[in-house]
Structure 1
């Protein structure tokens, strides 16, 4: 005999499938979002892009492009944009240094 405090027995429990896994889950699996720690190369590439505008554009611009490309090949979503930003920062920094250098 069951008391009134016991949970009801019924079909609200998940049934095991043939392979031993649960047939359904009470909540959906969370969407996989890239974490900040997964995008370290892209973030450093963006930093190099910003630094390339003001200091040694060829060095920091190339470093940012390489980091962005490597990040992109490793699956970082922002890797391609970091490489593009570093290339643009390198070009902008080079043009600024040519225009601002007394000559």
Structure 2
């Protein structure tokens, strides 16, 4: 588990970005995914992609559900 730590935290940030502060958690997830990829973690690239998608989805949801 420790060998994939950055990627796992990147995926967690991707999931959190959909519901809470998408820009903050999305960018953190992308950064962690890229860092994991650079360190040779196989899931690093996918964590960065998932965080970007989570950031986009969270932003769209917040625009659609915002009152007024």
Q: Same fold (TM over 0.5)?
A: yes
How many aligned positions are there?
A: 68
For normalisation by structure 2, the TM-score amounts to 0.99
Q: Which runs of 5+ in 2 are unaligned?
A: none
- Structure-1 residue corresponding to 2:33: 68
For normalisation by structure 1, the TM-score amounts to 0.66
Q: Which runs of 5+ in 1 are unaligned?
A: 1-35
1:14-33 alignment to 2 at 5 Å? Answer: none
Aligned-residue offset at 1:82: 0.1
Q: Distance in 2 between matches of 1:61 and 1:90?
A: 5
Q: Secondary structure at the match of 2:29?
A: helix
Q: Distance in 2 between matches of 1:69 and 1:82?
A: 8
Structure whose residues are more often helix by fraction: 2
Q: Select the structure with the greater relative contact order (CA < 8 A; seq sep ≥ 6).
A: 2
